[in-house]
Amino acid sequence: MKFADLHLHTNFSDGTWTPEELVLQAQKGGLSCIAVTDHDTVEACERAAAACAAVKMEFIPGAELTAEYEDTELHVLGYFLDARNKKLLAEIAKFQAVRQNRIHEMVARINELGVPLKAESVFALANCKSPGRPHVARAMVKAGLVKSLDEAFERFLKKGRPAWVPKSKISALEAVELVHHAGGLAVMAHPGLNRTDSIIPALVSAGLDGIECFHTKHSTAMSERYLEIADKYHLLVTGGSDCHGFSKGKPLIGTVKLPYEHVQKMKEYRSKETAAPSIATK
C-alpha cells in the first residue's frame, strides 16, 4: 500500500529541515508522495522537487496560506501550485512583508515587558522570508530568556498573550481564488483546530476543492466528522502530519499516512477540471 503526507514544513518557513533533509526523512518513513506546504511561501518547492526526483518520490508543490473569514483565522492549503505564477509570487511577497513587520512588533512588545530579545536574533535564526512565532520562541530559548518553546507561547506569543500580534490576512475566499489562479487545488487545513465548521459552506461556494480530514491534531472522531463533511459537499479528502522537523519533540512525519488513493483522486479531479471545468465532480 502507498502512502502520502501532504502537510509538511521546511526551513523556508518554520520547519527545521532543509527540503533535502525533509525528503530524506520522508524516504525513511516509507512515503511514496509528499507535498511541501510552507506558511505563505513556495520557495522550498523547487529544491524539494529535485530531491524527490532523485529518489523517485512523487512531489506535489504546495503552500499553507494564512487567511481569515469574518475575523476567524484559518489556513488554506494549495496543492499542485505553479510555484512560478506571477500573481501568487506577488501576493506571497506581501504576506512575507507583513510577517517580517510583525516580528518587529512582537519583539517590541516583548521588550516592553523588560525581556531583552533582539529582532536581529529572530531574523538570524529564522533565516527565511516567512518568519513566524515559532522563530521568536526559538530565539527566546536560544537567548536563555525562556526555558522552552511552550513557555514562550504560554507567556508571550499565543493568542491573548501580551506579545501576540494578529496578522493582516488575505480573505479565505480570495485565498481559494489565488490558489486556483496559480493552477492549484484549494483545501481547508486542519478544520478541527480552528473551530471553523460554520465557514465551510461559504468556502465551498467559493470553490473549495478539498478538506484536510487527517491531521496530527485530529482525533479519530474529528477525522470521521470531516470525512462525512467531505462526502456531503463532494470535497476531496487530504491529510498530513504538519511536521515542522525537530521543532518540538519527535518529528511528526510518518505519523499521519494518507492512503495514496486520495492523491489519485486529486489528480483525476484536476485532469477533469482541465478538460471540462464546469462538469467536474470530485
Q: At closest approach, how far in Å is the CB of 142 from Zn ion?
A: 18
Q: At closest approach, how far in Å is the CB of 221 from ligand AMP?
A: 22
Binding track, positions 22-61, relative to ligand AMP; x by CB under 6 A:
-----------------x----------------------
Q: Which is closer to ligand AMP, CB of 19 or CB of 204? A: 19
Q: How far is CA 147 from CA 38, 154, 155, 217, in A?
A: 27, 12, 11, 24
Q: Which does 75 bind (CB under 5 to 8 A by kind): Fe ion, ligand AMP, Zn ion, none?
A: Fe ion
Q: Does 40 help bind Zn ion (rule: CB under 5 A)?
A: no
Q: Does 149 help bind ligand AMP (rule: CB under 6 A)?
A: yes
DSSP state of 186: E
Q: Does 14 help bind Zn ion (rule: CB under 5 A)?
A: yes
Residues in CB range of 119: below 8 A, 6 or more apart? 103, 104, 107
Q: Which is closer to ligand AMP, CB of 75 or CB of 270? A: 75
- Out of 19, 62, 78, 132, point to the residue binding ligand AMP (CB under 6 A): 132
Residue 214 identity: F
Residue 93: CB atoms within 10 A of its CB come to: 12
Residue list 251-270, contact with ligand AMP (CB under 6 A) = none
Tell me how far apart the alpha carbons of residues 57 and 4 are, in angstroms, rounded to a whole number.
10
Window of 11-19, 66-74, 103-111, 155-163 that interacts with Zn ion by CB under 5 A = 11-19
Taking the alpha carbons of 157, 161, 165, 170 in that order, is the dihedral positive or negative? positive
Window of 7-15, 91-99, 163-171, 186-194 that interacts with Zn ion by CB under 5 A = 7-15
Q: Which does 120 bind (CB under 5 to 8 A by kind): ligand AMP, Fe ion, Zn ion, none?
A: none
Could you give the angle at which helices 119-126 and 133-142 cross, rounded to 10 degrees? 110
When CB distances to Zn ion are compared, the closest residue is 14
Residue 158: CB atoms within 10 A of its CB come to: 14
Q: At closest approach, how far in Å is the CB of 282 from ligand AMP?
A: 27
Q: Rounded to 5 degrees, what are φ and ψ at 142?
A: -60, -35
- Out of 146, 214, 242, 243, point to the residue binding Fe ion (CB under 5 A): 242
In the numeric block, the cell 478538506 is attached to 211
The CB-based long-range contact list for 228-235 (8 Å cut-off, 24+ gap) reads 229/191, 229/197, 229/200, 233/200, 233/201, 233/204, 233/208, 234/281, 234/282, 235/204, 235/208, 235/209, 235/210, 235/211, 235/282
- Out of 10, 51, 75, 257, point to the residue binding Fe ion (CB under 5 A): 75
Residue list 199-218, contact with Fe ion (CB under 5 A) = none
Residue 175 identity: A
Q: Which helix (H) or strand (E) holds 67?
A: strand 58-69
Window of 117-125, 127-135, 218-226, 271-279 that interacts with ligand AMP by CB under 6 A = 127-135
Residues that bind Fe ion (CB under 5 A): 64, 75, 189, 242
Residues that bind ligand AMP (CB under 6 A): 14, 39, 66, 132-134, 149-150, 153, 158, 244
